[in-house]
Amino acid sequence: MTETLLKEKGIKELKKLGGFHNVIYEGLYQDTPIIIRKSTRRTLSEIEEEVHILNSVGDDVHTIRPIKVGGAFVREHEDGVYAFFKKDDGLNWHETTLTDTTHYNAGKALGLLHKAFQKMDTKKRASYDAHPDLKLIKTSTPFHQEEARKLLKTIASWDKPKNEYGLIHGDYLFGNLLYHGEDVTVIDFDDMEYGFYLYDVAVYLFYLLLGGNPKDIHKEPNIEIFKHFIKGYRSVNKQTNLDFDKLNTLFRLRQLKLLGTIMKTMDASKHGPWQKAYIEMANHQLEKDEPFVEIPFQSIYESLNKNED
Protein backbone atom coordinates (compact mmCIF):
# COMPACT_ATOMS: atom_id res chain seq x y z
CA MET A 1 0.00 0.00 0.00
CA THR A 2 1.75 3.13 -1.19
CA GLU A 3 1.17 6.62 0.14
CA THR A 4 -1.15 7.10 -2.82
CA LEU A 5 -3.26 4.15 -1.73
CA LEU A 6 -3.39 5.44 1.84
CA LYS A 7 -4.76 8.68 0.50
CA GLU A 8 -7.31 6.72 -1.52
CA LYS A 9 -8.54 5.26 1.79
CA GLY A 10 -9.52 8.79 2.78
CA ILE A 11 -6.43 9.67 4.80
CA LYS A 12 -5.52 13.32 4.36
CA GLU A 13 -2.50 15.43 5.29
CA LEU A 14 -0.31 12.32 5.15
CA LYS A 15 3.18 12.84 6.52
CA LYS A 16 5.99 10.30 6.92
CA LEU A 17 7.43 10.42 10.44
CA GLY A 18 10.25 7.93 9.88
CA GLY A 19 10.76 4.80 11.96
CA PHE A 20 13.45 2.18 12.47
CA HIS A 21 11.96 -1.32 12.31
CA ASN A 22 8.69 0.01 10.86
CA VAL A 23 7.63 2.97 8.74
CA ILE A 24 5.42 5.43 10.61
CA TYR A 25 3.03 7.95 9.09
CA GLU A 26 0.76 10.60 10.52
CA GLY A 27 -2.48 11.60 8.86
CA LEU A 28 -6.04 12.79 9.24
CA TYR A 29 -8.97 10.39 8.82
CA GLN A 30 -12.52 11.75 9.02
CA ASP A 31 -11.17 14.76 10.94
CA THR A 32 -9.40 12.46 13.46
CA PRO A 33 -5.58 12.60 13.72
CA ILE A 34 -4.19 9.09 13.28
CA ILE A 35 -0.89 7.21 13.21
CA ILE A 36 -0.24 4.57 10.54
CA ARG A 37 2.38 1.86 11.12
CA LYS A 38 3.65 -0.16 8.21
CA SER A 39 5.28 -3.43 9.27
CA THR A 40 7.22 -5.99 7.26
CA ARG A 41 8.44 -8.12 10.18
CA ARG A 42 5.09 -9.09 11.73
CA THR A 43 2.34 -11.25 10.24
CA LEU A 44 -1.24 -10.14 9.73
CA SER A 45 -2.44 -12.46 12.51
CA GLU A 46 0.15 -11.11 14.95
CA ILE A 47 -0.91 -7.53 14.33
CA GLU A 48 -4.59 -8.38 14.46
CA GLU A 49 -3.93 -9.96 17.85
CA GLU A 50 -2.07 -6.81 18.95
CA VAL A 51 -5.13 -4.75 18.04
CA HIS A 52 -7.44 -7.15 19.88
CA ILE A 53 -5.29 -6.90 23.00
CA LEU A 54 -5.12 -3.11 22.91
CA ASN A 55 -8.90 -2.99 22.55
CA SER A 56 -9.26 -5.27 25.58
CA VAL A 57 -6.87 -3.88 28.20
CA GLY A 58 -9.40 -1.52 29.81
CA ASP A 59 -9.62 2.22 30.25
CA ASP A 60 -7.42 2.32 33.36
CA VAL A 61 -4.45 1.27 31.21
CA HIS A 62 -3.41 4.27 29.17
CA THR A 63 -2.23 2.95 25.81
CA ILE A 64 -2.38 4.06 22.23
CA ARG A 65 -5.70 2.87 20.79
CA PRO A 66 -6.47 1.28 17.42
CA ILE A 67 -8.88 2.99 15.06
CA LYS A 68 -10.74 1.62 12.04
CA VAL A 69 -9.90 3.05 8.63
CA GLY A 70 -12.39 2.00 5.97
CA GLY A 71 -13.92 -0.45 8.44
CA ALA A 72 -10.66 -2.22 9.41
CA PHE A 73 -8.05 -1.76 12.13
CA VAL A 74 -5.43 -3.60 10.06
CA ARG A 75 -4.91 -3.96 6.33
CA GLU A 76 -2.49 -6.24 4.52
CA HIS A 77 -0.87 -5.20 1.28
CA GLU A 78 1.91 -6.65 -0.82
CA ASP A 79 4.47 -4.27 0.71
CA GLY A 80 3.53 -4.83 4.36
CA VAL A 81 0.85 -4.86 7.03
CA TYR A 82 -0.70 -1.52 7.95
CA ALA A 83 -2.17 -0.81 11.39
CA PHE A 84 -4.07 2.35 12.33
CA PHE A 85 -4.08 4.11 15.71
CA LYS A 86 -5.58 7.24 17.18
CA LYS A 87 -2.88 9.87 17.55
CA ASP A 88 -2.07 10.66 21.18
CA ASP A 89 -1.29 14.30 21.89
CA GLY A 90 1.41 13.54 24.48
CA LEU A 91 4.99 14.74 24.15
CA ASN A 92 8.01 12.62 23.25
CA TRP A 93 10.67 12.20 25.95
CA HIS A 94 13.00 14.77 24.36
CA GLU A 95 10.22 17.37 24.40
CA THR A 96 9.74 17.25 28.16
CA THR A 97 11.57 16.62 31.43
CA LEU A 98 11.48 13.22 33.10
CA THR A 99 10.96 13.74 36.83
CA ASP A 100 10.70 11.40 39.82
CA THR A 101 6.93 11.55 39.43
CA THR A 102 7.22 10.71 35.73
CA HIS A 103 9.21 7.57 36.55
CA TYR A 104 6.71 6.68 39.28
CA ASN A 105 3.85 6.96 36.79
CA ALA A 106 5.81 4.99 34.18
CA GLY A 107 6.13 2.20 36.75
CA LYS A 108 2.44 2.49 37.60
CA ALA A 109 1.49 2.25 33.91
CA LEU A 110 3.58 -0.89 33.52
CA GLY A 111 2.07 -2.44 36.65
CA LEU A 112 -1.43 -1.85 35.29
CA LEU A 113 -0.41 -3.21 31.89
CA HIS A 114 0.98 -6.41 33.39
CA LYS A 115 -2.18 -6.89 35.48
CA ALA A 116 -4.30 -6.57 32.36
CA PHE A 117 -2.05 -8.91 30.38
CA GLN A 118 -2.24 -11.60 33.06
CA LYS A 119 -5.99 -11.89 32.43
CA MET A 120 -5.51 -12.56 28.74
CA ASP A 121 -4.92 -15.83 26.96
CA THR A 122 -3.45 -15.41 23.52
CA LYS A 123 -1.05 -17.63 21.64
CA LYS A 124 -0.54 -15.52 18.54
CA ARG A 125 2.47 -13.65 19.85
CA ALA A 126 5.91 -15.24 19.84
CA SER A 127 8.04 -15.92 22.92
CA TYR A 128 11.16 -13.92 23.84
CA ASP A 129 13.53 -16.40 22.15
CA ALA A 130 11.95 -15.83 18.72
CA HIS A 131 12.34 -12.04 18.71
CA PRO A 132 13.51 -10.67 15.31
CA ASP A 133 16.38 -8.72 16.91
CA LEU A 134 17.63 -11.83 18.68
CA LYS A 135 17.67 -13.65 15.37
CA LEU A 136 20.15 -11.03 14.15
CA ILE A 137 22.70 -11.97 16.80
CA LYS A 138 22.22 -15.63 15.91
CA THR A 139 23.54 -14.83 12.42
CA SER A 140 26.43 -12.71 13.71
CA THR A 141 29.95 -13.83 14.66
CA PRO A 142 30.51 -17.33 16.15
CA PHE A 143 31.39 -15.66 19.46
CA HIS A 144 28.11 -13.74 19.61
CA GLN A 145 26.16 -16.78 18.48
CA GLU A 146 27.63 -18.81 21.34
CA GLU A 147 26.88 -16.06 23.86
CA ALA A 148 23.27 -16.00 22.68
CA ARG A 149 23.03 -19.78 22.87
CA LYS A 150 24.31 -19.88 26.46
CA LEU A 151 22.09 -17.02 27.54
CA LEU A 152 18.94 -18.54 26.07
CA LYS A 153 19.78 -21.88 27.67
CA THR A 154 20.01 -20.17 31.07
CA ILE A 155 16.69 -18.36 30.66
CA ALA A 156 14.99 -21.52 29.35
CA SER A 157 16.00 -23.32 32.55
CA TRP A 158 14.00 -20.90 34.72
CA ASP A 159 10.56 -21.84 35.97
CA LYS A 160 7.78 -19.83 34.38
CA PRO A 161 5.00 -19.37 36.95
CA LYS A 162 2.06 -17.25 35.83
CA ASN A 163 2.93 -14.44 38.20
CA GLU A 164 6.41 -14.11 36.63
CA TYR A 165 5.98 -15.06 32.98
CA GLY A 166 3.35 -14.03 30.44
CA LEU A 167 2.50 -11.45 27.82
CA ILE A 168 4.80 -8.41 28.05
CA HIS A 169 5.27 -5.14 26.17
CA GLY A 170 8.76 -6.19 25.08
CA ASP A 171 10.14 -2.69 24.43
CA TYR A 172 9.18 -0.67 27.49
CA LEU A 173 11.65 2.20 27.29
CA PHE A 174 11.11 5.89 27.93
CA GLY A 175 11.04 6.50 24.17
CA ASN A 176 7.90 4.36 23.89
CA LEU A 177 5.93 6.49 26.30
CA LEU A 178 4.15 9.74 25.53
CA TYR A 179 4.04 12.30 28.31
CA HIS A 180 1.11 14.42 29.46
CA GLY A 181 2.84 16.44 32.14
CA GLU A 182 3.88 13.64 34.47
CA ASP A 183 1.29 11.13 33.23
CA VAL A 184 2.16 8.68 30.49
CA THR A 185 0.58 6.81 27.59
CA VAL A 186 2.19 3.56 26.45
CA ILE A 187 2.78 3.18 22.71
CA ASP A 188 4.53 0.85 20.23
CA PHE A 189 3.36 -2.66 21.04
CA ASP A 190 5.08 -4.11 17.97
CA ASP A 191 7.47 -6.13 20.19
CA MET A 192 4.74 -7.54 22.43
CA GLU A 193 5.70 -11.15 23.22
CA TYR A 194 5.75 -13.83 25.87
CA GLY A 195 8.52 -13.35 28.40
CA PHE A 196 9.32 -12.57 32.00
CA TYR A 197 7.51 -9.51 33.36
CA LEU A 198 10.83 -8.43 34.80
CA TYR A 199 12.15 -7.99 31.27
CA ASP A 200 9.97 -4.89 30.77
CA VAL A 201 11.53 -3.41 33.91
CA ALA A 202 14.99 -4.36 32.61
CA VAL A 203 14.40 -2.54 29.32
CA TYR A 204 13.22 0.62 31.07
CA LEU A 205 16.33 0.72 33.25
CA PHE A 206 18.72 -0.44 30.52
CA TYR A 207 18.48 2.64 28.33
CA LEU A 208 18.45 5.06 31.24
CA LEU A 209 21.63 3.45 32.55
CA LEU A 210 23.31 3.67 29.14
CA GLY A 211 22.46 7.35 28.90
CA GLY A 212 24.51 9.49 26.55
CA ASN A 213 27.72 7.51 27.00
CA PRO A 214 27.56 3.70 27.38
CA LYS A 215 31.08 3.73 28.87
CA ASP A 216 30.08 6.10 31.67
CA ILE A 217 27.05 4.69 33.51
CA HIS A 218 25.83 6.92 36.33
CA LYS A 219 24.64 4.54 39.03
CA GLU A 220 23.33 6.77 41.80
CA PRO A 221 20.77 8.76 39.75
CA ASN A 222 19.47 5.53 38.23
CA ILE A 223 19.13 3.86 41.62
CA GLU A 224 16.79 6.69 42.56
CA ILE A 225 14.89 6.29 39.28
CA PHE A 226 14.55 2.58 40.02
CA LYS A 227 13.08 3.31 43.46
CA HIS A 228 10.44 5.68 42.09
CA PHE A 229 9.61 3.39 39.17
CA ILE A 230 9.14 0.31 41.36
CA LYS A 231 7.11 2.23 43.93
CA GLY A 232 4.76 3.21 41.10
CA TYR A 233 4.60 -0.37 39.85
CA ARG A 234 3.81 -1.81 43.28
CA SER A 235 1.21 0.87 44.00
CA VAL A 236 -1.08 -0.94 41.54
CA ASN A 237 0.44 -4.41 41.16
CA LYS A 238 1.72 -6.56 43.99
CA GLN A 239 0.65 -9.85 42.44
CA THR A 240 3.46 -9.98 39.87
CA ASN A 241 6.65 -11.49 41.23
CA LEU A 242 9.80 -9.61 40.23
CA ASP A 243 12.97 -11.57 41.02
CA PHE A 244 15.71 -9.01 40.63
CA ASP A 245 18.42 -11.63 41.03
CA LYS A 246 17.56 -12.39 37.37
CA LEU A 247 17.87 -8.79 36.27
CA ASN A 248 21.45 -8.85 34.96
CA THR A 249 20.63 -11.91 32.87
CA LEU A 250 17.73 -10.02 31.29
CA PHE A 251 19.95 -6.98 30.86
CA ARG A 252 22.27 -9.27 28.90
CA LEU A 253 19.36 -10.39 26.72
CA ARG A 254 18.60 -6.76 25.83
CA GLN A 255 22.30 -6.05 25.41
CA LEU A 256 22.68 -8.83 22.84
CA LYS A 257 19.53 -7.83 20.97
CA LEU A 258 20.70 -4.23 20.70
CA LEU A 259 24.18 -5.36 19.71
CA GLY A 260 22.75 -7.52 16.94
CA THR A 261 20.52 -4.68 15.72
CA ILE A 262 23.40 -2.19 15.52
CA MET A 263 25.85 -4.62 13.94
CA LYS A 264 23.48 -6.25 11.43
CA THR A 265 21.18 -3.42 10.35
CA MET A 266 23.52 -0.42 10.36
CA ASP A 267 26.47 0.14 8.07
CA ALA A 268 29.58 0.25 10.28
CA SER A 269 30.72 3.38 8.47
CA LYS A 270 27.59 5.12 9.76
CA HIS A 271 28.10 4.23 13.43
CA GLY A 272 28.24 7.37 15.51
CA PRO A 273 30.16 7.83 18.79
CA TRP A 274 27.31 6.31 20.84
CA GLN A 275 27.06 3.17 18.72
CA LYS A 276 30.84 2.71 18.70
CA ALA A 277 31.03 3.14 22.48
CA TYR A 278 28.17 0.71 22.97
CA ILE A 279 29.69 -2.00 20.77
CA GLU A 280 33.03 -1.67 22.56
CA MET A 281 31.44 -1.75 26.02
CA ALA A 282 29.15 -4.68 25.21
CA ASN A 283 31.91 -6.78 23.63
CA HIS A 284 34.21 -6.12 26.58
CA GLN A 285 31.55 -7.23 29.06
CA LEU A 286 30.77 -10.34 27.03
CA GLU A 287 34.42 -11.32 26.70
CA LYS A 288 35.13 -10.77 30.41
CA ASP A 289 31.76 -12.20 31.50
CA GLU A 290 31.06 -9.00 33.42
CA PRO A 291 27.52 -7.95 34.40
CA PHE A 292 25.93 -5.04 32.59
CA VAL A 293 25.88 -3.05 35.82
CA GLU A 294 26.76 -3.81 39.42
CA ILE A 295 23.81 -2.45 41.38
CA PRO A 296 22.19 -4.56 44.15
CA PHE A 297 18.66 -4.21 42.75
CA GLN A 298 17.27 -7.15 44.74
CA SER A 299 18.49 -5.70 48.06
CA ILE A 300 17.11 -2.27 47.17
CA TYR A 301 13.80 -3.87 46.19
CA GLU A 302 13.59 -5.81 49.44
CA SER A 303 14.33 -2.65 51.44
CA LEU A 304 11.54 -0.81 49.64
CA ASN A 305 9.14 -3.66 50.45
CA LYS A 306 10.07 -3.60 54.14
CA ASN A 307 9.57 0.14 54.36
CA GLU A 308 6.26 -0.25 52.58
CA ASP A 309 5.08 -2.88 55.06
Backbone φ, ψ for residue 9 (5° rounding): -80, 0
Residue 171 has a pLDDT of 97
The pLDDT of residue 307 is above 80: no
Cα four-point dihedral sign 51, 52, 54, 55: positive
Write down the mean pLDDT value for the chain.
93
CATH number for the domain running over 3-86: 3.30.200.20
DSSP bridge pairs for 32: 29
Lowest mean per-residue pLDDT among 184-188, 198-202, 260-264? 260-264
Give the 3-state secondary structure of residue 286.
helix
Q: 93-308, what's its fold?
A: Aminoglycoside 3'-phosphotransferase; Chain: A, domain 2 (3.90.1200)
Other C-beta atoms within 10 Å of 245: how many? 12
26 exposure class (CB count in 10 Å sphere: 0-12, 13-18, 19+): middle
Decide if 47 contacts 76 (C-beta within 8 A).
Answer: no
Residue 128 has a pLDDT of 94
Rounded Cα distance between 99 and 251, Å, is 23
Model-level pTM?
0.95
Q: Each residue of 156-168: pLDDT tens digit?
A: 999 999 999 999 9
Expressed in angstroms, the distance from the first to the final Cα of the chain is 55
> Where do the domains of the chain lie?
3-86, 93-308
Half-sphere exposure for 206 (CA within 13 Å, toward CB): 27
Q: Each residue of 220-242: pLDDT tens digit?
A: 999 999 999 999 999 999 999 99
Type of residue numbered 262: I
Q: Each residue of 102-157: pLDDT tens digit?
A: 999 999 999 999 999 998 877 778 899 999 888 888 888 899 999 999 999 999 99
Decide if 65 contacts 85 (C-beta within 8 A).
Answer: yes
Confidence bin at 9 (pLDDT 50/70/90): confident
